[in-house]
Structure 1
Amino acid sequence: MEPSPGGRNGRRTQRSSVMPIVTVQQGPRDVTLKRDLVRRVTDAFVEAYGVPAETVQVWIHEVPADSWGAAGKLTADK
């Protein structure tokens, strides 16, 4: 990939046909919180990489509390 001048805030951007894809794994959250998360993650990629917001994909994978654990215990049992 060749860097090209002139990204957002004068940053150099990478020419690429590959879109950024971000996967977030979490427990279930309210749709309002997920909207805000997607907006903020997208904004971060636009700022950091100088890519158009339309190229950023954010995938939210929600895992129920009875399907994951930490410190040797099922999260649903805490």
Structure 2
Amino acid sequence: MFPSAGSPGTAGAGHRTEEPVMPIVTVQQGPRSVEQKRELVARITDAFVDALQVPAEAVQVWIQEVPTDSWGAGGKLTADKQK
């Protein structure tokens, strides 16, 4: 039901098995509210369920929040742009 590749270098290389694939999605972003993160996780999960036909329980979403004083864009810290 769920495709996965066989082990490279073995006689079964390229053979499809019925093992479920566990997608892991990593999101790097600035701080957001818990409500926003809940919505993001739900929508990402739905997208993977639709696109890959995997069960929602198999989708992992990892959110890495970066403080605004630890990243920048356009030559400026994000914290400085918010002032």
TM normalised by structure 2 equals 0.74
**1:33 matches 2:33:** no
Which residue in 1 is equivalent to 2:56? 53
Map of 1:14 onto structure 2: 3
CA-to-aligned-CA distance 1:17-45 (integer Å, 9 cap, x gap): 44100001110000001001101100000
Alignment coverage as a number of residue pairs: 67
- The one-letter code matched in structure 2 to 1:41 is I
Structure with bigger strand share is 1
**Quick one: percent identity of the two aligned structures?**
72
Residues 14 and 49, structure 1, Cα contact 8 Å, conserved in 2: no
Residue ranges of structure 1 left out of the alignment (5+ in a row): 5-12
Counterpart amino acid of residue 65 in structure 1: T
Amino acid at match of 2:3: Q
TM, length-normalised to structure 1: 0.79
User: Which structure's relative contact order is higher, taking Cα pairs within 8 Å and 6+ residues apart?
Assistant: 1
Query: What is the root-mean-square deviation of aligned Cα atoms in Å?
Result: 1.4
